[in-house]
Amino acid sequence: MSILSIKNLGKSYRSYSSEWKRIARWFGLTAQGVDEHWVLRHINFDIQPGEAIGVVGQNGAGKSTLLKMITGVLEPSEGEVQVNGRIAAILELGMGFNPDLTGRQNVIHSAGLMGYSHEQIFRALPEIEKFAEIGDYFDAPVRTYSSGMQVRVAFSVATAFRPDILIVDEALSVGDSYFQVKCINRIKKFLEEGTTLFLVSHDVGAIKTLCQRALLVDAGRIILDADALSVIKLHQSLMLKKENDTNQSSRIKKNTRNISQAEKLTDDLQVSGDVLVVKEAIEAVDIRFLDESNRPISYVVSGQPLTVEISVKFKKQFHDPHIGFGIRDKNGLVIYETNTYCMNKELGAVQKNDRVSVSYSFDCHLGAGDFSFVVGVANEGYGKGSFRDNLYYDHEFKVLKVLQTGDDIWAGFFNLCPKLKINIANS
């Protein structure tokens, strides 16, 4: 049996052209001039006990509204939510806290609303205070707290007792990295014990780390329900497309009489699986791994020289193209990324049918394993690594196997190759 079942869920808000029409609707009377805006509609999914589900989407997609309906904060306009278990939720920052009460008082109040007895609360209070680690502020009014301190207390009370379902909305993105690690470790422990996780976050790293499955919400609809990595890849491609749309729209508004070919690229941009490409801009992309003798290789021994050679054939003229690559581990976590713009290198203008090759050479100090290489092509860099036009992006262009010799003993993503110095002083 599903621990959480969502059937045809929807939420709408009405706007009225006059207050009289609003009052008429209160009494069940028909009123003209009523606009209905659907924030979410036709939402359907089931979650099994022990599953960890991530939810991603752009701002305004409807993610937080979905969580509020699941937790009962908002009443659905249509559909139903069936919950078979106890929910603990961390929604908007400070939600449910009285700013004039102390942290301790808010903890007692919040735990009571969650259905725990007075005895259970006071037994757990020392551990809640210890986990939050805010010192004397625990007995100070919440209005004196920073956003990070509020999250510490909210997470501590929400997870003081292991829930059947833990719902977290962006809370892990607030505060210091030390506390984020504590939160993730506690969530992992709950998952091992059978808790179901429903995590909304812009931090795709957290979703990759904690979730096996994810939902992509866009414009009030679920457009993909699949494994977390596939969902994140599509989400990132759509974000790049949105960035193209925004940049080009801005330039068109500034100069409607002079729209370049690059500014018309949005209509040609396609998202397909792992790949985002402007179909009339890029004809072909290739990547090769080479050893120190420029021979093609499919694997490299950690610590040995490696060259990543990327070639791109352009179908249009571009005045400031850039080419880059990224490295990701098997879970999709970014290990490293760079491009010609970030390295202060210019390719110069390219013409139609030009084939451009760039080579990145370095000693590969990655740990043993399979690593995916991401390839990106963009035009007109600005700021700290932003681009006017994203022309091509492949989340998993090619995989390189890294081997580690038995004599090379270390652990982690990569070898820092530290220099060791030992000094022994006689007392």
Which tens digit of pLDDT belongs to each residue from 173-213? 666 778 888 888 899 999 999 999 999 988 787 888 889 99
In 3-state terms, what secondary structure has residue 108?
helix
- Confidence at 244, pLDDT banded by 50, 70, 90: low
Rounded to an integer, what distance in angstroms lies between the CA atom of residue 65 and that of residue 60? Answer: 9
Q: Are 164 and 85 in contact (CB under 8 A)?
A: yes
Rounded to an integer, what distance in angstroms lies between the CA atom of residue 302 and that of residue 320? Answer: 35
* Bigger pLDDT: 113 vs 279: 113
Rounded to an integer, what distance in angstroms lies between the CA atom of residue 297 and that of residue 306? Answer: 9
Mean pLDDT of the 300-319 span: 94
Q: Which of 360, 345, 356 is nearest to 308 (CA)?
A: 360
- Confidence at 123, pLDDT banded by 50, 70, 90: very high
Q: Which of 169, 198, 188, 180 is nearest to 85 (CA)?
A: 198
Residue 402 pLDDT more than 60?
A: yes
DSSP code per residue over 118-161: HHHHHHHHHHHHHHH--GGGGGSBGGG--HHHHHHHHHHHHTSS
Neighbour-count burial of 316, counting CB atoms closer than 10 A to its CB (0-12 exposed, 13-18 middle, 19+ buried): buried
CATH class for domain 269-403?
mainly beta
Mean pLDDT of the 293-317 span: 94
Residue type, 104: R
Cβ neighbour number for residue 23 with a 10 Å cutoff: 12
Mean pLDDT of the chain: 84
pLDDT of residue 256: 41
Residue 32 pLDDT more than 70?
A: no
Cβ neighbour number for residue 311 with a 10 Å cutoff: 15
pLDDT of residue 257: 38
pLDDT of residue 275: 59
Q: Are 287 and 375 in contact (CB under 8 A)?
A: yes
379-385 long-range contacts, CB within 8 A, separation 24+: 379/262, 379/318, 379/319, 379/320, 379/321, 379/322, 380/262, 380/318, 380/319, 380/320, 381/320, 381/322, 381/341, 385/339, 385/341, 385/342
- Confidence at 234, pLDDT banded by 50, 70, 90: confident
Q: State the residue for tokens 């679920």.
A: 222
Do you know the residue count of the chain? 427
In 3-state terms, what secondary structure has residue 14?
strand
pLDDT of residue 262: 36
pLDDT of residue 426: 83
Q: Are 52 and 193 in contact (CB under 8 A)?
A: no
- Confidence at 269, pLDDT banded by 50, 70, 90: very low
In 3-state terms, what secondary structure has residue 39?
strand
Across 98-107, 127-136, 179-188, 321-330, least confident range: 179-188
Rounded to an integer, what distance in angstroms lies between the CA atom of residue 403 and that of residue 183? Answer: 33
Q: Are 312 and 355 in contact (CB under 8 A)?
A: yes
Rounded to an integer, what distance in angstroms lies between the CA atom of residue 65 and that of residue 8? Answer: 15
Helix (H) or strand (E) holding 3: none
Q: Which of 220, 98, 81 is nearest to 150 (CA)?
A: 98
Mean pLDDT of the 98-124 span: 91
Please compute, for residue 113, the number of CA atoms within 13 A of its CA located in the half-sphere on the CB side: 15
Question: In the chain, pLDDT over 90 holds for what percent of residues?
Answer: 48
Structure pTM? 0.68
- Confidence at 108, pLDDT banded by 50, 70, 90: very high
Say if strands 87-90 and 165-169 run parallel, antiparallel, or are unpaired. parallel
Q: Which of 259, 256, 314 is nearest to 285 (CA)?
A: 314
Q: Enumerate the domain spans of the chain.
A: 269-403
pLDDT digits over 159-173, tens only? 999 999 999 887 666
Rounded to an integer, what distance in angstroms lies between the CA atom of residue 412 and that of residue 367? Answer: 6
DSSP code per residue over 274-341: TEEEETTTEEEEEEEEE-TTS-B-SEEETTSEEEEEEEEEESS-BSSEEEEEEEE-TT--EEEEEETT
Cα dihedral sign, 63-69-74-76 = positive
Helix (H) or strand (E) holding 23: helix 19-26
Across 37-46, 107-116, 254-263, 409-418, least confident range: 254-263
Rounded to an integer, what distance in angstroms lies between the CA atom of residue 44 and that of residue 29? Answer: 31
Q: Which of 191, 178, 186, 198 is nearest to 160 (CA)?
A: 186
Residue 371 pLDDT more than 70?
A: yes
Please compute, for residue 174, the number of CA atoms within 13 A of its CA located in the half-sphere on the CB side: 19
